[in-house]
Amino acid sequence: MTGTKLSAQVFGRSVRGASHVRTDMTNQDAMTWSPASGRGQALVVAVADGHGSPKSLRSDRGSRMAAGIAVAVLESMLPALREDQLDRAARAITARWVHDVRADLARKPLTEADLSDLDGRERRDLAANPLLAYGTTLLAAVVTPTGVLYLQLGDGDIVFVARDGGAWLPLPADHRNAGNETLSLCLPGAERAFRTGVAALDRAPQMILLSTDGFANSYQNEDAFLAFGTDLLGMIRASGVPAVEDSLEGWLQETTEHGSGDDVTLAVVVLALPAGVGIASAPVAATPVTARIPVPTRPARKVVGTAPAPVPSYRPAVTPDAGRHRERARLVALSVVLGAAAVVSSLVLAVTLLRGGDEPGDEPTTTPPPVAAAPATPAPLPTALLATTQRGATSFGLDDDGYLWLQSPGSTWQRQDKYGNGWGNFWSESDGVHVRGEKGELILSLTADIAPPEKPVPTIGRTT
């Protein structure tokens, strides 16, 4: 393969979220690439998503800084950038972002008018860590003549698409990005939280997608989301990059209007691979533990209307379910909750939740409080359960709001309010499922051997 080299071109669009339009918020996403022409044998692209929480009141500036700094740092390391240098790149990006944010704060300090909409706790958080005002995630990819390198901090997605159209996520999932919470450049130790990867020439994909989480959150599940990559490659081959690029903004606008309502940003990197070079098919993923528990998915609904020219046959198959978290994260994590609850039902019914202190990081009380009595007014029965299972004579179910339901013999379904709701409260690993309280403290752990983790779950930044 001597003399064979990669080249690439990039295009992309960023649209303001439908919910941001309604509430008069700015687009907090950012995207940039180099060279400006979007073509070359060496190409760097970065996408960032500023947090939407009230205390991240300058996150639009934080995301623009992050994307620009990432491209500048990574480009400065070319052409000798290697996998073993990605950690150094992450440290350099983080240090420069922190420096530039502090400089921006020195030039334009936060005023009382800036803080007028924040409550007491949000003000204290900002006083302790002013970087929160600029909080953002970051994704970046580098195409060199000999391969592809990529890195990610926080939520969002890097998607690879093989020559046959198969699409996959090359980076492992990070359970710290759950529900409305994400890792961020504004948090201490951010440089150590980057996920990185490399694809040599013989494993290079045909196409790379970098998107903020508002895009994937609009889809029914991970399969529907990844199918977009397959469809997009087919349309590029059939109609060419200019035609697809002209249609992209309209597709993304429909995605946010009928899907998450969040800002949506997508960068598309198309690699020019010589015949027979690069990965032909998506790798076969290992079957996750949670696959043992069948979880029904809701029917996918496609946007109805006239398709945008000049690619007339495509419509983004988004789910009009604005404000929801990504179905894949919710169902995978919650299906583990369901299965674990069924297997250890006697433990679940006896567990007493630990309460955290007044602030994240406080030590939990040593004496657990008594189990609260059942509410006088029972929760209304759900009209439908997202998933159900049975262990012995006890049935378990999960509703669409993230509540765990239990039905004992001879009784009606009872909602288990003490375990909370909200999809982001649950996260899973190979050893089982864990549940966080509102302050980030560990309140319940159901593991394979019924043993709690040795250390508490770290508190991480919220994005909404």
Same domain, 279 and 353: no
Would you say residue 180 lies in a domain?
Answer: yes
Q: Are residues 262 and 358 in the same domain?
A: no
Give the count of alpha carbons within 13 A of 43, CB side only. 26
How many whole angstroms separate alpha carbon 432 and alpha carbon 453? 10
Same domain, 352 and 436: yes
Could you count the other beta carbons within 10 Å of the beta carbon of residue 198?
18
* pLDDT at residue 44, rounded to an integer: 97
pLDDT at 166: 95
Residues 134, 218, single domain; the answer is yes
Burial class (CB in 10 A: 0-12, 13-18, 19+), 99: exposed
Query: Is 98 within the bounds of a domain?
Result: yes
36 and 84 both lie in a single domain: yes
Asked if residue 393 belongs to a domain, the reply is yes
pLDDT for 304 equals 26
**Does residue 302 lie within any of the structural domains?**
no
Q: Are 87 and 144 members of one domain?
A: yes
271 and 334 both lie in a single domain: no
CA distance 428 to 453: 12
Amino acid code (one letter) for 181: E
What are the strands of the beta sheet with 394-398, ordered from one edge?
Answer: 387-391, 394-398, 404-407, 414-415
- Give the sign of the dihedral formed by CA 173, CA 179, CA 183, CA 184: positive
| Distance (Å) of CA 372 to CA 369, 418, 419 | 8, 8, 11
Residues 37 and 151 in one domain: yes
pLDDT at 453: 32
For 30-56, the pLDDT digits (tens) are 999 999 999 999 999 999 999 998 999
> Does some domain include residue 317?
no
Do 242 and 341 lie in one domain? The reply is: no
Rounded Cα gap, residues 43 and 37, in angstroms: 10
Provide the residue range defining the domain that includes 418: 327-371+380-447
Task: Read off the CATH number of the domain in which 96 is found.
Answer: 3.60.40.10
- φ/ψ bin of 440: left (φ > 0), alpha (ψ from -120 to 50), beta (otherwise): left
Specify whether 56 is located in the same domain as 167. Answer: yes
pLDDT tens for residues 106-151? 999 999 999 999 999 999 999 999 999 999 999 999 999 889 999 9
Number of independent structural domains in the chain: 2
62 occurs within a structural domain: yes
Residue 311 domain-assigned (yes or no): no
In this structure, the answer to whether residues 288 and 340 fall within a common structural domain is no
Q: Are residues 195 and 101 in the same domain?
A: yes
Residue 167 lies in a domain: yes
pLDDT averaged per 10 residues, the chain (length 464): 73 94 91 96 96 93 97 92 91 96 97 93 94 97 93 96 95 76 90 94 95 91 92 94 94 90 96 88 56 26 30 49 39 45 41 31 39 48 57 63 71 70 44 47 42 32 32
